[in-house]
Amino acid sequence: MHLAARAPTKSSVSDSSDPVSFDTVSSVEVIAPNFKHKLSGVTSTIIQLIPLQRLNGLKIATLGPGLPDDLPRIGWSSLPGLWLKPRTRPFRIWHARRNTEMIAGILMRSVLRMKLKLLFTSAAQRDHKPFTKWLIRQMNAVIATSGKSGSFLKVPHTVIMHGVDTERFHPPRDAEDRFAASGLPGQYLVGCSGRIRHSKGTDLFVDAMINLLPHYPQWTAIMTGRTTVENKAFEQALRDKIAAAGLSDRIVFLGEVPDVRIWFRRMSLYVAPSRNEGFGLTPLEAMASQTAVVASDAGAYAEMIGPETGSVVAAGDGKALEQAIAPYLADPVRCEEVGKAGLAHVRANFPLQKEAASILRVYEQMFAS
């Protein structure tokens, strides 16, 4: 999942940027814990959703590290307040998204007898380990982020797919959003985004570009995303392969960029070649930028891309990926047409506001039960 998060608005439960103190925690109806220091797709989801949820009137706060200071939050010292019910509800909802957060919720609800009900959002698209299955069975309600992830759950659940902020991800508006501003050779840009690693299929993208770009001299390929220490050798092997093909000026590693959104707008075609994903937001972000998409069927890609809005191939099939990309490189006008269809599709079906409203309905169903 891409990690460019919505810029949070300045708010807190007490309408200041300070954490909610013990004497104001009584107003909090929902807690969204974040038990991870490093930015991740889950963290990005929390950052994007909470401001919208609060605009919908929900009294929600975060708990834990790795979040912007201006999100509404409670501190660890506020936890004793959870033995008391909130002012406006019979209990609070603890909305977990990780195993550690489910464990904490079970401990507080079932052992410490705090006035909580537990909700878990599952994005994993694999058979869960026995302990995780047990944790999930202890939840009062469960959300799956796609039909595919829901198929691995053995409990009743609601499917709510992630959305994209269509204000932050939008079609080109000015000269900086056009390919010419990139300073790269050619006329059209094809790219992929995400950490440089085998699971993301970076090598599949590179192989396809090495085979295709000699036939389409007007195109340049880019990759945006960080390479961790353990994947430096993987990246170097790809660079060596590109250099041997004489394409180092046309297949470019940009690394981490200050703002990936502008690169989505500069692309005519976005490729998501992942071998596996939890959900995977980048195709939605590309479509919201009016960019055509070719993707594997990893994560929820196949559930967000239709025949009119892009192409989907089997994950890990490099030849199929190359064959799906080729018609777009041969016909830039097709990219433009598919990009427009993708934009309309995302605005109709995947706005972030829709995700926030759907989660709010689950909260209200839990409060009413």
Check residue 124 and give its pLDDT.
Answer: 86
pLDDT at 172: 97
Q: How far apart are CA 198 and CA 200, in angstroms?
A: 5
CATH number assigned to the domain covering 175-349? 3.40.50.2000
Distance CA 16, CA 188 (A): 46
Structural domain spans, the chain: 25-163+351-368, 175-349
Give the pLDDT score at 43: 87
Tens-place pLDDT, residues 249-272: 999 999 999 999 999 999 999 999
What gap in Å lies between CA 152 and CA 133, rounded to an integer? 10
Distance from C-alpha of 81 to C-alpha of 115, rounded to nearest angstrom = 10
How long is the chain? 369
Q: Give the per-residue pLDDT at 20.
A: 54
CATH number of 25-163+351-368: 3.40.50.2000
The tokens describing 286, both together, are 């590309």
d(CA 307, CA 317): 19
Identical fold between 25-163+351-368 and 175-349: yes
For 7-21, how does the pLDDT look when each residue is reduced to its tens digit (9 = 90+)? 333 333 443 344 554
Tokens of 348: 């109709």
Is the separation of the CB atoms in 197 and 234 below 8 Å?
yes
What pLDDT shows up at residue 168? Answer: 93
CA dihedral (132, 134, 137, 139) positive or negative: negative
Q: What is the pLDDT of residue 40?
A: 77
Q: Which of 113, 59, 124 is nearest to 83 (CA)?
A: 113
3-state secondary structure the chain: CCCCCCCCCCCCCCCCCCCECCCCHHHCCEEEECCCCCCCHHHHHHHHHHHHHHHCCCCEEEECCCCCCCCCEECHHHHHHHHCCCCCCCCEEEEECCHHHHHHHHHHHHHCCCCEEEEEEECCCCCCCHHHHHHHHCCCEEEECCHHHHCCCCCCCEECCCCECCCCCCCCCCHHHCHHHHCCCCCEEEEEECCCCHHHCHHHHHHHHHHHHHHCCCEEEEEECCCCHHHHHHHHHHHHHHHHCCCCCCEEEEECCCCHHHHHHHCCEEEECCCCCCCCCHHHHHHHCCCEEEEECCCCHHHHCCCCCEEEECCCCHHHHHHHHHHHHHCHHHHHHHHHHHHHHHHHHCEHHHHHHHHHHHHHHHHHC
CB atoms within 10 A of CB 211: 15
Mean pLDDT per 10-residue segment, the chain (369 residues): 40 43 77 88 89 92 90 91 94 97 98 97 91 97 95 95 95 97 97 96 98 98 96 98 98 96 98 92 96 95 94 97 98 97 97 96 96
> For residue 82, what are the contacts with CB-CB under 8 A and spacing of at least 6?
25, 92, 108, 114, 115, 116
Residue-level pLDDT at 69: 86
Contacts of 74 by beta carbon, 8 Å cutoff, 6+ apart: 13, 19, 20, 25, 28, 31, 61, 62, 63, 81
